Structure formats: C-alpha cells, structure tokens
C-alpha cells in the first residue's frame, strides 16, 4: 500500500519538509534575537551619554529618604520622603536645607513621588494604591484617589500628570479626575527600560531616575524613546558616604531660573548640575 494521499512522496516531498523545518528554525532564531515583546524596527538608535558639572552644592537632610522632589512656579522646593513610619511631605529651604513645613503620612504608608500642579501638591504612595492631593499653602488634605499599580515617580507636562510604577510604563492621568488617559512604554536601543523611578518634566522631555543606577533617562514623551542618558557616576564623594546612603533619587527643575537639581536617598547634599557632552 502506498503512503496516504495527503503525505508528500518521493524527493520532492522530502525537500518540502526540509524547507519547512528550515523556515521554522530561522523564525525562531529571528525571534530570539529581538527584544521580548518588541519589533526591533520600533527601537530607537543608541542614545548619547551626557556627563555633568556641579554648579553648586546645598545641604540636604541626611534623614530624608527622598522619593520625590519638585519646585513650584515661585521657586519653592518640596520633597516627599519614604519609609514606613517616616514618610512625609516637606517644604524645604534650598540654601540651608531647613525644613520649613512638614506633614507626616500615616505610619502604614510609604511616601513616593510628588508634583506641584497649580495650587495643589499631589503625592503618591508605594504599594497602597493611594494618592493624596494637598493645598500647597497649608498642606491641608483636599482629596484622595486610588490607582491599580504601584506608585513610584510623578511629574506633569502642564496638562497631564505622568506617573511611573517601577516598570517600563509611564501612565498619563487627567489632573482633575485622575483617570488614566494614556500610557507609554519607554525603550532604548535594547528594548524596554525598566525600574523607572522619580520623574521630572524639563523642556519638553521626561527625565527619569532608573532605580539602582547612577543614570537618568531622557525620554521623548511622544514616542517613549530614550534620547539620551545622564551619567551621574561619582556625584556623591566617598567622604559623604561615611554614614549609610542609598541610591540616587530625586530630580527637580526650577523653571524660573533654568536650574536642574539632583539628590539621593539619605544623601547629605543636593546638587545643582549642568550637562556636559
């Protein structure tokens, strides 16, 4: 009895089977070379890396586990600190580091990113899914809203709030209803950039600390592409690390004076910097 009618016969059949196997193998190889979940053609080119120069150094509360840092349009500095039982919202004097106003969060909550939107300050919490909206002048609680992800960094572009949750995704929220209006995946030439943390919107781009690194990503808010990296290696000198310090975290931009500031968790200093090629 000959082979079933639906099975290839002879040399032609064997060649067809071999061709199909070869195509399958090539497809698998092509998939393994591409970043997971991304078409390589969608990835941006490798971004340039910028250095820094320190313009001025300011004192910073060594007890502040910095999670958010922001200026208002009057040049007043605000800070959000983390850790259970130590989380707070603060108004800080830039030049002296003195805490001018202080609001403690409930001990069960872990404070995260903040942004100043008009006359309101909005503060995230880490895993509780709760955010607080305060009156900027007196830190009076105006309202609360919830979200389904973790809360890490927060900024705004003048029209939308922009939130990170430690993944490669940025979330855009309506500033009044706090409903999600869009989301964006951040990618560099290798694929998604994860562990996006504290955020700041500067000159039409989003700056993002990448947790546990000394780098800040410069992100195009239209495409999610990383257009540059700021390498802050060596910013905190060994003499400043005699007591425990944690990672770089905290970006603030004073739009009135076009000045950029960075610090870290439990850092004794806050740095005004400019970028270098």
d(CA 267, CA 269): 6
- Asked if residue 216 lies in contact with residue 230, where contact means CB atoms within 8 angstroms, the answer is yes
Confidence of residue 19 (pLDDT cuts 50, 70, 90): very low
d(CA 247, CA 262): 12
Looking at residue 243, its pLDDT comes to 86
- Would the pLDDT of 235 be above 50? yes
Looking at residue 28, its pLDDT comes to 35
Give residue limits of the domains in the chain.
Answer: 45-276
Looking at residue 121, its pLDDT comes to 98
- Looking at domain 45-276, its CATH class is mainly beta
Q: What is the 3-state secondary structure (H, E, C) of the chain?
A: CCCCCCCCCHHHHHHHHHHHHHHHHHHHHHHHHCCCCCCHHHCCCCCCEEEEEEEEEEECCCCCCEEEEEECCCCCEEEEECCCCCCEEEEECCCCCCEEEEEECCCCCCEEEEEEECCEEEEEECCCCEEEEEECCCCCEEEEEECCCCCCCEEECCCCEEEECCCCEEEEECCCCCCEEEEEECEECCEECCCEEEEEEECCEEEEEECCCCEEEEECCCCCEEEEEEECCCCCCHHHHCCCCCCEEEEEEECCCCEEEEEECCCCEEEEEEEEC
Mean pLDDT of 179-206: 98
Q: Which of 58, 78, 67 is nearest to 254 (CA)?
A: 78
d(CA 57, CA 79): 17
d(CA 186, CA 36): 14
- Asked if residue 59 lies in contact with residue 269, where contact means CB atoms within 8 angstroms, the answer is yes
Looking at residue 26, its pLDDT comes to 36
Could you report the per-residue pLDDT of 111-153, keeping only the tens digit for each?
Answer: 999 999 999 999 999 999 999 999 999 999 999 999 999 999 9
Mean pLDDT of 168-183: 97
Confidence of residue 257 (pLDDT cuts 50, 70, 90): very high
Least confident of 15-29, 191-205, 259-273: 15-29
The pTM of this model reads 0.85
């Amino acid at each position: 009895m000959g082979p079933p009618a639906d099975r290839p016969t002879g040399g032609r059949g064997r060649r067809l089977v071999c061709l199909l196997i070869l195509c399958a193998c090539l497809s698998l190889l092509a998939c393994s070379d591409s970043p997971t979940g991304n078409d390589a053609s969608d990835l941006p080119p490798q971004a340039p890396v910028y250095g820094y120069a320190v313009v001025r150094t300011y004192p910073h509360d060594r007890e502040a586990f910095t999670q958010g840092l922001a200026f208002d349009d009057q040049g007043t500095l605000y800070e959000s600190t983390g850790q259970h039982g130590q989380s707070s919202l603060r108004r800080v004097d830039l030049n002296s580091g003195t805490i001018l106003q202080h609001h403690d969060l409930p001990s069960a909550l872990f404070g995260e990113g903040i942004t100043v939107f008009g006359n309101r300050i909005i503060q995230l919490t880490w895993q509780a899914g709760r955010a607080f909206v305060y009156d900027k002048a007196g830190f009076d609680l105006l309202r609360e809203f919830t979200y389904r992800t973790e809360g890490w960094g927060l900024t705004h572009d003048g029209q939308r709030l922009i939130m990170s949750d430690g993944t490669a995704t940025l979330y855009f929220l309506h500033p009044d209803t706090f409903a999600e209006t869009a989301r964006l995946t951040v990618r560099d030439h290798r694929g998604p950039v994860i562990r996006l943390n504290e955020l700041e919107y500067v000159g039409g781009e989003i700056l993002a600390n990448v947790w546990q690194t000394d780098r800040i990503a410069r992100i195009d808010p239209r495409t999610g592409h990383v257009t540059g990296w700021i390498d802050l290696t060596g910013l905190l000198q060994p003499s400043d690390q005699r007591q425990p310090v944690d990672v770089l975290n905290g970006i603030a931009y004073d739009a009135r004076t076009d000045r950029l500031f960075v610090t870290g968790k439990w850092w004794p200093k806050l740095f005004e910097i400019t970028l270098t090629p």
